[in-house]
Amino acid sequence: MELQNPESINKRPSLLTTNEQINNFYDQGYFVIKNLFNRKEIQEISLAFDRLQEIALTLKTTQEFMGSQFVVEGTRIDRIVWMAGAEPSLLKFGEDARLLKPVSQILDINQFDQLICQGHYKLPGDKVKFDWHQDCQHRGYGDVHWKDVDGKGSYVQTLMAIDEVTLDNGPVMFVPTNTKLGYIGLDKHPNPLELFDINKAEPVLMQPGDVAFFSPYSIHGSAPNNSNKPRRVFINGFAYPGANSKQYPGYGSGRRVYLKSE
């Protein structure tokens, strides 16, 4: 995909994210904006999640279906990749200016390749967890599929709470990580806990509509949901144009999205 006119690219949107939050992104690896989406919007997204959950439980095995990849095993839903394939109603939220403005301020550009439109469910008793990792592991950093165009990661992941995130239902735990650390090889080390101080991990507790923005170099993970309520999150990830050459599953994945200047 070709970039727009450079004059359009460099025209910055009005500020939404504070300098402190941007600094936290690079110095700590993440920041959270509270109440970014309202109750009505979260209800609409929640209903889309419900419809996709019904499909996943019918499929029972991992497969691509209706333009999405359902990673399921019986009644356990590990994730639904590119949810918008089977549920196009979610596309408008993945390109919402409230997500794209902070991403624009971080990457310093007005257009992005949306690589991720993903749902994590964590239903009571499903034992779904995510081991300590950096998202750069999944983007293909260090191989032919990825080029760090801006020299600072070239990628922003966003995580929207659909349900309340509590200490009991498997919150994402972030280890404050300066992005200058880069990729540290957690996925290749025989004992990853030797590479960082787990005692510094911070649970990110969220209300529906809160959104976390985090770096591809951020160290994070989460435990299973031990409560009697679901802990669903909607994840959208954006790459600097030209950084990614990998084809992700799902109809429409990797689409170019634009933030219109105000």
Query: pLDDT band for position 16 (50/70/90)?
Result: low
Query: What are phi and psi for residue 219, nearest 5 degrees?
Result: -90, 125
Which pLDDT value is given to residue 8?
A: 39
How far is residue 119 from each of residues 8, 188, 257, measured CA to CA in Å? 32, 26, 19
Which pLDDT value is given to residue 262?
A: 58
Which pLDDT value is given to residue 12?
A: 41
Average pLDDT along the chain:
92
Query: What are phi and psi for residue 129, nearest 5 degrees?
Result: -145, 165
Which pLDDT value is given to residue 6?
A: 36
Residue 5 has pLDDT above 90, yes or no: no
Report the C-alpha dihedral over residues 247, 252, 254, 256, rounded to 10 degrees: 150
**Is residue 8 within a helix (H) or strand (E), and if so which, with residue range?**
helix 6-9
Query: pLDDT band for position 131 (50/70/90)?
Result: very high
Where exactly are the structural domains of the chain?
18-48+84-252
The strand pair at 155-161 and 211-214 is best described as: antiparallel
254: left (phi over 0), alpha (psi -120 to 50) or beta: left
Across 115-139, average pLDDT: 96
Which pLDDT value is given to residue 142?
A: 78
Query: pLDDT band for position 260 (50/70/90)?
Result: confident
pTM for this entry: 0.92
For the ranges 140-144, 171-175, 206-210, 225-229, which has the lowest average pLDDT? 140-144
Structure tokens at 11: 């025209």
Which pLDDT value is given to residue 141?
A: 85
Q: At what angle do helices 19-27 and 97-107 cross, to 10 degrees?
A: 60
- Residue where the block lists tokens 């650390």: 181
CA-to-CA distance for 256 and 100, rounded, in angstroms?
Answer: 12
Pick the CATH number of 18-48+84-252 from 2.60.40.790, 3.40.190.10, 2.60.120.620, 1.10.357.10: 2.60.120.620
Q: What DSSP character marks residue 198?
A: G
Across 119-141, average pLDDT: 94
Which pLDDT value is given to residue 15?
A: 47
CA-to-CA distance for 106 and 152, rounded, in angstroms?
Answer: 10
Closest C-alpha among 184, 188, 109 to residue 149: 109
